[in-house]
Chains A and B, each alone.
Chain A
Amino acid sequence: MPSKSDQVIERWIPQFKKGLLEFIILLKLKDGAIYGYQLAVEIKKITSIDMAEGTLYPLLNRLNRDGLVETEWLTTETGNPRKYYKITVFGTEVLGKMGSYWTQTHSSILKMVDEK
């Protein structure tokens, strides 16, 4: 049976991941256009985040609606269509600000953790 602290962590982790994912997606897209499945695999590989792959799609839709990414359907050699996501100029600008905020927050939190 999970301990009380494990139960709290179980509730906290999904919230924490949700907030981070948009930032991670944009970071990944900075390396070039990518399609949904590939994005899910790479995020899982890099971050070890155990996420349901489908949860990326509402986030990608939101980023697209807000103009941070743009999409294009391309056909593979086998003839299957894939929807590629590409970061926009506006997305790059937002990512820069996210990066600064992340660095600031990360250092502050690390300092707090070290003090404990």
Chain B
Amino acid sequence: MKLNFTIESKVAQKVWDNFERDLIHKLARLPKKEREEISQEILSHLYDSACHDEASLEEVKMINAIDRLGSPDDYLTPLVEDILLSLDLAKGHPVAILNSLRKAGAKGFMHLLATMVFGFGYFSIIMLFIMATAHIANPDVGVWLHNSGSLSLSFGAQPDSIQWQPEYFSVIGGITSVFAYWGLNKLLNMFISGRN
């Protein structure tokens, strides 16, 4: 969708163009779809606001409208950060996950506790994935059931123990870790949405 109107005054057009350029620059980190949608919404707001301004000169109407919107840094920076965080988390981006955990951990004891639980969850999933991959080269890597009834994840053969599913451990471990990673990302996303 494109904005459909004409600006008569050259000065007003220049003010508009400068604002639009600044807007596009500040939204540059966003994917194209989000960038276009936000810039369209802000420009539509600016146009509506300028149309309702009581000043007589078009450029003054435009400047007043920009002024009423406030400093672009004040509203675009939190908007861009918020969108990027949710997009990165949805994609399971490790840096975004790390940043979210760090921010959550700094908010107090309960957040720190939740961060440790999430951190342990990610650590376990990554370990499982590494072991599932390592099992291809070394069949002794896997889950071992001990005679005492306990079980352990091990990188080597265990005495007096039977290995659990040695033929399928790589497949089971790989698939489980991918699904668990996806599930944990969803949980973290919910946790962050609820706590922000």
Task: Name A's B-contacting residues (CB within 8 A).
Answer: 35-38, 40-41, 51-58, 61-62, 65-66, 73, 75, 78-83
Which of A41, A57, A66 touches B75 (beta carbons < 8 Å)?
A57
Say yes or no: A54 contacts B82, CB within 8 Å. Answer: no
Contact flag A58-B45 (CB < 8 Å), given A52-B71, A81-B3? no
Q: How far is the CA of A58 from the CA of B52 in the complex (A)?
A: 23
Say yes or no: A61 contacts B44, CB within 8 Å. Answer: no
Question: How many residue-residue contacts, CB under 8 A, span A and B?
Answer: 76
Q: How far is the CA of A51 from the CA of B48 in the complex (A)?
A: 17
Task: Name B's A-contacting residues (CB within 8 A).
Answer: 1-5, 37-38, 40-42, 44-45, 47-49, 52, 68-72, 74-76, 78-79, 82-83, 86, 193, 196
> Nearest residue in B to A82 (C-beta to C-beta)?
B44
> Nearest residue in B to A83 (C-beta to C-beta)?
B41
Say yes or no: A57 contacts B42, CB within 8 Å. Answer: yes
Contact flag A57-B79 (CB < 8 Å), given A52-B69, A78-B5, A80-B5? yes
Chain A residues within an 8 Å CB radius of B69: 52-54
CB distance from B42 to the nearest CB of A (A): 7
Chain B residues within an 8 Å CB radius of A53: 45, 49, 68-70
Q: How far is the CA of A62 from the CA of B196 in the complex (A)?
A: 9
CB distance from A41 to the nearest CB of B (A): 8
Chain A residues within an 8 Å CB radius of B2: 81
A-B contact pairs, 19 of them (CB 8 A): A35-B44, A35-B48, A37-B45, A51-B70, A52-B74, A53-B49, A53-B68, A54-B69, A54-B76, A56-B75, A57-B38, A57-B79, A58-B79, A61-B82, A62-B196, A78-B4, A81-B44, A82-B44, A83-B44
